[in-house]
Structures are given as C-alpha cells and as structure tokens.
Chain A
Amino acid sequence: MIAINTEAILETLAFVATFLLLPPLLVGIIRKTKARFQNRIGAPLLQPYFDLMKLMSKGETISKHTSWIFRSTAAINVSLLIILAFLAPWTSLRPFNLGADLFLVIYLLALTRFFTVLSALDAGSAFGGFGASREVTLALLVEPAVILCLAAIGSVSQTSDLGVAFSFNNVSLINQPGLWFIAGCGLFLASLVELSRMPADDPTTHLELTMVHEAMILENSAANLALVEYSHFLKILILLGISSQCLLHAIPFFWHTSQLILALASILSIMILAASIAIIESVAVKLRWTKLPEFIAYSVAMSIFCVFIALSKNLN
C-alpha cells in the first residue's frame, strides 16, 4: 500500500492540496473567464472561497415541512464526494490505491443524485419538484453514455478497476489515442449535462421555471447551502478530472514522461476544461428542454464509437 518514503509523502501532500484547493478555484476560473468574455473584470479568482466562508457564518432557515432527508442530504453528499475523490482517477496522482471500481464510482454518483432529488422534493415546493423531475430525466439520458465510455476503456484494459485502467503504466491502453480522445469528448459532453452547465442548464439564471440544479437547492441556506455548493464544486472537479485524464491519455507525449509533468498536466488540463466550459457558456445558448435529448445523443454516439473501438481492439 503506502510505502513510507519521501516520494509517497510528497505525492500524498500534493494530492490532498489539489483536492482541497482546486474545486472552488475551478468555479472561480469559470466565472472569471465568462466575465472576461462579457467585457467585465469579474470577481477575483478566489471569490468562491469567500462565498463559502460567508455562507458558513450566516443564520439558517429551514422549511418546517422538511424531514431528516433535507437536513442530512448536504452532509451526506459532501462525504460521498470526498470518498469519490479518493477513489476516482481524476488526476494522475493516486497515492491511495484504493481500487476505484467503475460501477462503484457510477453508483456513488447516482447515490448523491438520489439524495439531492429527495431533498428537493422534501420541502414540497413546486420548484424543487420541477428541478428533481428534470434532474432524473437528464441523468437517465446521460448515464448510459458515461458508463459505456468508461466500460469501453475498462474492456480494453480487461479490468473494471479504473485506477488500473487510467494508470499511465498500463501497456494495453497506450497507443489507443482514438479511444481515449473519443471517450474524453463523450465524457466531457456528459459532464456538461451532469454538472448542470450551459446547454442543459443555466447556472446563473434565477428564473425558477427553467433551471434544474438551482431549482433543487432553492430551500437550502447558510451552512447547508455552503455544503451543497462545496459538493457541487467537488463534483465538477471529479467529472472534469476524469474527462481530462482521458484527453491526456490521447496525447502521445504523456505516455512516457515523468510523474511531475503528468501531475502538473492533469491539474492544468482540468483548469483548461473549466475555461472551455466558460467559453461554451459564453458563445452557446441554453437549449430548449425538448432539444436536450439531441445534445445528449452526441455523447451517447461517442460512447458507441468507444464501444466499437474496444470491441475491435479485443478481436480474436
């Protein structure tokens, strides 16, 4: 497991530091880039941290109609995403080799959704219901794409352990730039939907009738809201991290390079993906609800291509 040497300690430290610091920073990058596109200076990069701090010190208001589900969802989701961050291969640094099973990762994400949806229904407001209903619909369409992209990668490496499949030492997966690139694209498109970003949902709007994620967390406030926000930041980190790892694997330069460069590249590529989310949000519009299946279909098509590559790779 963890050998006690300086390298391992350094790796652990670097992992914990990125895992703690990067999530709010990513949102900062997205906001800053968007502001620049709109000819504004924008809030400082670290604004999400300040927002979280401020939320922590506020007084909380809870609807009297809610049950224990609403009160515990935020805490449960944050813990689930912390566990996921230690399991899922969102960066090349993996000091704790815990064995990230593909289906476990997907189902842990589904579990956070289960709680989010229930807490949205808990207060009995119309908006929470809307948001919840839309969330499950989107998840339904995206889920096959995500699982097929990852299963194709796993099938080529003949293991369902993502930690092994995503390791840069894995010989069977090197020389598959096509698979990795298409999987990366598919996963990125899927994460746009899962993270409630632009073509699927507008994270900045406060028109309750059109939003998905914001509608679900309408009743949360103060520390509870801070936890919800933080878990969303973590989700951004993990999903973008997985897509960026796929894209990094597609570049031959990274197949044989040092750990340090890889680690830096993974962090940088996550940031680049965050910036590209901001660019997409600046140039594209939110799609109509009825047009969304068309958008998600592209992600599913990518996953089908991945499956073909995986099947032809293992031709016997």
Chain B
Amino acid sequence: MILDTFEALAMVSAIFAILILGTTHLRTNLSFYSLHTMAIAAVTAWIANITHEDHLYLVAAGVFIIKSWGIPWYLNSVIKKINIGTDGGAFIAAPLSMHLGALMLGLSFMISQQIPGLIGEPDSRLGSTAAMSILFTGVLLMLTRRAAISQIVGFLVIENGIYLFAVTQTHGMPLMIEMGLLLEVLVAVMVAGLLLFNIKKSFEHIDVSQLTELKD
C-alpha cells in the first residue's frame, strides 16, 4: 500500500493526537495538540489542492491560525495564570493510555474497513481511520484525565476528529459552515478558559473528578 500525501498527513495528525496522551505535562500536551492541528490544516490544504475548491484554502488558513496558534497560545496563558503545570493524576497512567490510544488506531483501522459507503478505496481508508482514531483519542483523553485543561484539550481533539471525518468524506463543506464551526470552537474554548479561572478561584483546584461534590 503506497501512502498518498493526503493519507500520510491524516495519519500524522492521528499520531500526534495519540502522543498527546503520553504525558501529563500540560504545556507539552498543548504543543502536541498544536502540531496535530497543523497536520489537519495541511490535510485541508491538500484537499483544496486536489479538488480545486479554493475556499478550502481559506478554511485551512483559519484552522491553522485559530486552532493551531490561537487556542494553544490562549490556553498556555491560562495555564500560566492559574499556575498549574501538570495534570494532577490520570486515572490510567499516561504511558498506558497512550498505548491504549495506539491500539485504538488499529481498532479504527479495522472498523473503517468494515463501514460500507465510505469514500476511499476499500483497502486504503486511512483518512477515515485517522479521523476515527482522533475521535477515540479525544474521548480517551477526556475519560482518563482530571484537570479541566486536559478536558478542554480532549474536547478540541474530538472536534478535530469530527472535522477531519467531514473533510475526508465530503471534501469540504461550504465556507460559511466551516467558519461558523471554527468560531464556535473558539468561543467555547474562551468560555471554558474563563470558567477555569473561576473554578480555580473558588475551589483552589481544577480537578473535575471532584465536581461530583456539587450534586444536590
């Protein structure tokens, strides 16, 4: 199987997403996230190149600027302000969850071979494999980590997975929808960041596993 550039880029983004799982050091997480999103921007640009849909270049630029620079930069500043460098404790040890994520990549490969009606040759559906694996990775990140920052990163990774899936299957939606989605994510992250300040201020920690105390 010869990888074409598009599939290779999608796999690179999936691999970077899995590498996020490997450490509880939040800034390293964010830099891996940034690399991961850059690969996704590159995928978008490459699809634009193939399909000659020029508006996808704009989307790629938007993803690059907002998601792979803006959001990590903003979250980095949040981390600096609330002064929490590492995730307190993962439910599953970080190395183990990374290896789980890697296994999920294999699993999504098997799944994407089975799903009928996907775009792509039946023996090379690496685009949808990558998208699905990114989705799983995001879920795994949200499941295993305690700190609220990691939850945000997990959410962003899931969002990237959905986006990649859409892009590989439809070869790009209209510009307005893409831009709307991007802005929505940006707003969500801003709100989450603001919430974080307040959580930190009132509870002295950002451990979401202790939010259960809030019920009733």
Contacts and interface: CB of A to CB of B under 8 A. Distances in A.
Task: Indicate whether A and B are direct neighbours in the complex (CB within 8 Å).
Answer: yes
B59 to A, nearest CB: 26
B1 A315 contact: yes
Contacts of B11: 178
Interface in B20-56: 22-24
A237 interface: no
B111 to A, nearest CB: 14
Interface string A298-316: 1011001100100111010
B19 A298 contact: yes
A294 B92 CA distance: 12
B1 A304 contact: no
Interface in A282-300: 293-294, 296-298, 300
A293 B24 CA distance: 12
A175 interface: yes
B102 A304 contact: yes
B15 A294 contact: no
Nearest to B103: A304
A280 to B, nearest CB: 15
Contacts, number: 47
Question: Do most interface residues of chain B lie in helix, strand or loop, or is the interface mixed?
Answer: helix
Contact of B94 (A177, A297, A311): A297
Nearest to B7: A178
Q: How big is the A interface, by class?
A: 10 to 19
Interface in B96-111: 96, 98-99, 102-103, 105-106, 109
Interface in A124-172: none
B89 interface: no
A297 B1 contact: no
A166 to B, nearest CB: 21
Interface string B108-133: 01000000000000010000000000
A301 B18 contact: yes
A301 B102 CA distance: 7
Nearest to B2: A175
Contact of B8 (A178, A293, A304): A178
A10 B93 CA distance: 53
Given A294-B94, A305-B15, A308-B106, A300 B1 contact: no
Contact of A298 (B2, B22, B93, B109): B22
B1 A312 contact: yes
B191 interface: no
A313 B8 CA distance: 14
Question: Do most interface residues of chain A lie in helix, strand or loop, or is the interface mixed?
Answer: helix
A142 to B, nearest CB: 13
Interface string A169-190: 0000001011000100000000
Given A294-B23, A305-B15, A313-B1, A300 B106 contact: no
B95 interface: yes
Given A297-B94, A297-B98, A312 B3 contact: no
Nearest to B23: A294
Contacts of B103: 304
Contacts of A308: 102, 105-106, 109
Interface in B44-88: none
Contacts of A311: 106
A217 to B, nearest CB: 29
Contacts of B15: 182, 305
A312 B122 CA distance: 13
A301 B109 contact: no
Contacts of A175: 2
B95 A305 contact: no
A10 to B, nearest CB: 36
A138 to B, nearest CB: 14
Contacts of A297: 22, 94-96, 98-99
Contact of B105 (A298, A305, A313): A305
A278 to B, nearest CB: 22
Interface in A38-73: none
Contacts of B1: 312-313, 315
Interface string B186-212: 000000000000000000000000000
Contacts of A298: 19, 22, 98
* Ranked 9 nearest A-B pairs via Cβ: A297-B95, A304-B102, A301-B102, A301-B98, A308-B106, A294-B95, A293-B95, A175-B2, A297-B22
23 contacts: A177-B3, A178-B3, A178-B8, A182-B15, A294-B22, A294-B23, A296-B95, A297-B96, A297-B98, A298-B19, A298-B98, A300-B95, A300-B99, A301-B18, A301-B98, A301-B99, A304-B99, A304-B103, A305-B102, A308-B105, A312-B109, A313-B1, A315-B1
Given A304-B102, A305-B15, 11 more contacts: A177-B3, A178-B3, A293-B93, A296-B95, A297-B22, A297-B95, A300-B95, A301-B98, A308-B105, A308-B106, A315-B123
